[in-house]
């Protein structure tokens, strides 16, 4: 590399931040002129028409910063990640402007996952002893990895329901993975993490605190965010198979789940609830964690702070308890997340009883 990795990581973060920060006001103007808004609705938590093309700025910031500062000549796999980003970008932008059928969106996500897994050869090769399984064969590796990519893409899409939540979780997670990749000498993925971090920090200000230039990331942003997170998770798990140093992470699959606890547990939770009610797991509703936290009387920013703080606590917990083993740590993840969900529901019920008594 032509600059010290420290400089390249910082440049990637700063350039991505500047691109998003500078481009969003122009995107908002165009969106307003063309009447490209996310309109309020029964299943939505906002009350005003708001531009939803923030994903364009996020995409530009990440792909330009990564393309300039990562060493793509030594990392063919990272080139395929950028190609997959282009695929989900066009799916997202079409859905944000015209709205496309869920099946067509899924086909695009499958194509992006195939580009990453088969062409980029970015895939799980081991389960780290989860259920006693270590090495997995090539075909199983492809199917498992594609499934994880699609789940993570959609999990970030699902939590993008209130101001700042998907962005806030993305900031926390990209910072966590970015620091680990940097400390272990995996500089290309530290640069990708930094580009994502810079883009999200710049976007967060407009999304949460913007008045004239308030904007949503839309499907374009959430799909790109989920795609990159899936790549970082796969590389994190794979690197911990061969890396042998002071920053080796035990029980990497369970640690990964804890790092991404809010989007993953929320997706698992709503799918189970819908199935138990005899509904399709893909039938949208307002039972996501952020909807339930809003029920307690918190506003969007407060709910984002609550859920992001919980995610941070889980990250600290899994890093501290990584020696417990994959299964034990996964059980602990699910038990604590379920406990939070149950406590939240009990508080909602208590609030309803109190309101009924005062009525």
What is residue 6's predicted lDDT score, i.e. its pLDDT? 85
Residue 65 — pLDDT band, cuts 50, 70, 90? very high
**How many CB atoms neighbour CB 334 within 10 A?**
16
Residue 2 — pLDDT band, cuts 50, 70, 90? low
What is residue 45's predicted lDDT score, i.e. its pLDDT? 53
Cα–Cα distance for residue pair 49/29, rounded to 1 Å: 14
Name the average pLDDT for the chain: 92
Average pLDDT over residues 262-280: 92
What is residue 295's predicted lDDT score, i.e. its pLDDT? 92
Residue 185 — pLDDT band, cuts 50, 70, 90? very high
CA dihedral (75, 119, 189, 321) in degrees, to 10, reads: -140
**How many CB atoms neighbour CB 154 within 10 A?**
20
Beta strands in 5-151 (DSSP E): 37-38, 50-51, 126-130, 133-135
Predicted TM-score (pTM) of the model is 0.93
Rounded to 5°, the CA angle 257-263-268 comes to 80
What is residue 176's predicted lDDT score, i.e. its pLDDT? 98
What is residue 228's predicted lDDT score, i.e. its pLDDT? 98
Query: Radius of gyration (Cα) for the chain, nearest Å?
Result: 20
Which of 122-136, 160-174, 269-283: highest mean pLDDT?
160-174
Closest CA to 116 of 238, 267, 9: 238
Percent over 70 (pLDDT), the chain: 96
Q: For residue 74, is pLDDT > 80?
A: no
Domain boundaries, the chain: 5-358
Average pLDDT over residues 333-353: 93
Question: 197 to each of 17, 126, 191, 266, how far by Cα in Å?
Answer: 8, 28, 10, 22
What is residue 212's predicted lDDT score, i.e. its pLDDT? 87
What is residue 5's predicted lDDT score, i.e. its pLDDT? 81
What is residue 40's predicted lDDT score, i.e. its pLDDT? 66
């Amino acid at each position: 590399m032509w600059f010290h990795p420290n400089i390249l990581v910082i440049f990637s973060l700063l350039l991505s931040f500047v691109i998003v920060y500078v481009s969003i006001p122009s995107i908002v103007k165009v969106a307003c002129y063309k009447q490209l808004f996310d309109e309020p609705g029964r299943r939505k938590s906002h009350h005003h028409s708001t531009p939803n093309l923030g994903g364009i700025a996020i995409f530009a910031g990440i792909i330009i910063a990564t393309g300039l500062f990562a060493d793509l000549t030594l990392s063919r796999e990272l080139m395929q990640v950028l190609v997959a980003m282009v695929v989900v970008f066009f799916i997202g932008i079409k859905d944000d402007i015209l709205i496309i059928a869920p099946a067509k969106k899924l086909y695009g996500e499958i194509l992006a996952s195939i580009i990453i897994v088969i062409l980029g050869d970015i895939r799980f090769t081991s389960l780290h002893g989860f259920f006693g399984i270590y090495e997995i064969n090539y075909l199983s590796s492809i199917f498992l990895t594609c499934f994880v990519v699609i789940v993570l893409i959609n999990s970030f899409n699902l939590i993008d329901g209130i101001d700042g939540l998907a962005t806030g979780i993305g900031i926390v997670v990209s910072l966590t993975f970015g620091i680990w990749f940097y400390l272990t000498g995996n500089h290309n993925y530290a640069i990708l993490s930094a580009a994502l971090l810079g883009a999200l920090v710049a976007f967060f200000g407009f999304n949460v605190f913007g008045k004239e230039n308030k904007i949503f990331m839309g499907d374009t942003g959430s799909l790109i965010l989920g795609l990159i997170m899936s790549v970082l998770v796969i590389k994190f798990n794979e690197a911990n198979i061969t890396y042998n140093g002071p920053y080796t992470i035990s029980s990497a699959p369970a640690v990964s789940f804890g790092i991404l606890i809010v989007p993953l547990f929320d997706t698992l939770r709503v799918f189970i609830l819908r199935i138990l009610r005899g509904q399709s797991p893909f039938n949208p509703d307002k039972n996501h964690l952020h909807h339930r936290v809003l029920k307690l009387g918190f506003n969007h920013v407060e709910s984002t702070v609550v859920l992001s703080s919980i995610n941070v606590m889980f990250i600290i917990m899994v890093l501290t308890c990584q020696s417990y083993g994959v299964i034990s740590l996964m059980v602990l993840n699910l038990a604590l997340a379920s406990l939070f969900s149950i406590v939240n529901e009990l508080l909602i019920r208590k609030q309803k009883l109190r309101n009924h008594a005062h009525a």
